Amino acid sequence: MMSNRDNNNVKDEKELDDLFDPLKKNRLKKAIKKAKWHSILRNAFISLFILVFLFVGGSIANRSLVYKLEGPTQIAVSAFNEISAPNKYIGKTERYHEILGGKNSFTTYKIIEGKVVYTGESEYNYGLFQEYEGNRIGSESPSIIGTSYDTEDLDRQKYNELGQREMIFFYPFIEYSQYKNDLQLLDQIEATKNMEIALSFDQAYTMDEVRDMLPDEITLSWYWIDDLNEEEKEASKSIIQRDNNGEQKTEEANFSNIRSEKTVYGIKALNASNERLENPLQHFIWALENGREYDTRFKGEFERVYNNLLGQDSKLTKDDIKVFGVVVTGDAEKLKSLQGLPFIKASSIGVITDNL
């Protein structure tokens, strides 16, 4: 049986417990709350670290991938300009990297007697989920701004968006009902004006023959070459039509195919700095081989041109190159030396500029 003294001690202990119990609970709540905040902060830090790691790592991985995706298309575009685009070169290029792809825009220019002439701007897309043309679904323009395809287009001179004249070429194996003879316009042009002019020949010549045939005062800038096989040559003499049932039929046209400067292939005689190339054919071959190496939208055309040019030994040499025409530059007075030359079948003036 407990004494009064023991009862008083128990009572005192209970009173002390009651007194400090709220304090203990408050400390426990604070400890729990503190632990929760530490856990939240730790998890937030870990999550932030993972996000930063993924962002930095993803950015590095994306950049590496985009460089790999960009390379083939960039090489193909440059190579395609090398084997086409008479007297035209790629200028400033601006590159934009995006997620799993990107876009490059570039300017182009021509060199007319040492003077750089801006000819426009173009762009292309590349990437895992991007088409070459990007989001573009089409384009429209008046008929005066565009590309010539046949003699029906000879009724009106065509221009680009900058108002520069389009050069056109005539095949030597087609007898046209009409030809373009812009050499006769030289008498109406100021003698000091510089210009480029496309010359179409009466037959195919070798590169060496062409150099010997042209007057010394004329600057030879580009060779138009025969890139067609026999079947393609025959098809160029006619047009293909489809009847209402979708069946294909061939009809002889009352007009014949011509080639615009936008659709011809050839060999540049000058480099992008207006320096004469010692071996222009080798640069052309390098461009063809580079273009064939990568699976781009141009690959089929690189293959077609290359295979059509190959000789019987399956090697591309100077003997396999047949020249249908050229692009030359000079002032109006010097270019008059071309008038009356028997091997020139047609002529078409392109860009005209001042000599300063």
Largest alpha-carbon pair distance within the chain? 145
| Closest by Cα among 217, 254, 220 to 238 | 254
Q: Could you say which of 101, 116, 140 is where a domain stops? A: 140
Phi and psi at residue 192, to the nearest 5°: -90, -5
Structure tokens at 6: 């023991």
Query: Is residue 153 one of the residues assigned to a domain?
Result: yes
d(CA 172, CA 226): 10
* Residue 187 sits in the same domain as residue 54: no
Structure tokens at 284: 């052309």
d(CA 213, CA 222): 15
| Closest by Cα among 323, 354, 355, 349 to 336 | 349
Residue 116 CB burial class (10 angstroms; 0-12, 13-18, ≥19): middle
Instruction: Count how many residues are written for the chain.
Output: 356
Query: Is residue 310 one of the residues assigned to a domain?
Result: no
Domain count, the chain: 2
* Residue 131 sits in the same domain as residue 156: no
Phi and psi at residue 125, to the nearest 5°: -110, 160
* Residue 344 sits in the same domain as residue 202: yes
* Residue 2 sits in the same domain as residue 61: yes
Res 28: pLDDT: 63
The residue written with tokens 């007057």 in the block is 215
* Residue 104 sits in the same domain as residue 197: no
d(CA 288, CA 307): 10
Query: Is residue 277 one of the residues assigned to a domain?
Result: no
* Residue 82 sits in the same domain as residue 162: no
Query: Is residue 130 one of the residues assigned to a domain?
Result: yes
Containing structural domain, residue 133: 1-140
* Residue 129 sits in the same domain as residue 257: no
Residue 299 CB burial class (10 angstroms; 0-12, 13-18, ≥19): middle
Q: Could you say which of 140, 170, 204 is where a domain stops? A: 140
Query: Is residue 50 one of the residues assigned to a domain?
Result: yes
Average pLDDT, 10 consecutive residues per value, the chain (356 residues): 53 55 62 73 74 70 84 94 96 91 94 95 89 75 87 91 96 93 95 96 97 95 96 79 62 78 97 94 95 93 94 83 97 96 97 89
pTM, full prediction: 0.81
- Note whether 194 and 355 are within 8 A (CB): yes
- Note whether 183 and 339 are within 8 A (CB): yes
Q: Could you say which of 84, 107, 140 is where a domain stops? A: 140
* Residue 57 sits in the same domain as residue 148: no
Query: Is residue 5 one of the residues assigned to a domain?
Result: yes
| Closest by Cα among 20, 107, 113, 98 to 63 | 98
Name the helix (H) or strand (E) containing 37.
helix 4-83
d(CA 165, CA 306): 30
- Note whether 256 and 150 are within 8 A (CB): yes
* Residue 326 sits in the same domain as residue 199: yes
Q: Which residues pair with 249 in a beta bridge?
A: 241
Res 9: pLDDT: 55
Query: Is residue 282 one of the residues assigned to a domain?
Result: no
Structure tokens at 270: 């000058």
- Note whether 88 and 81 are within 8 A (CB): yes
| Cα-based torsion angle of the residue sequence 268, 271, 275, 281 in order, rounded to the nearest 10 degrees | -40
Sign, CA dihedral 149-152-158-160, equals: negative
Res 90: pLDDT: 97
* Residue 210 sits in the same domain as residue 343: yes
* Residue 148 sits in the same domain as residue 132: no
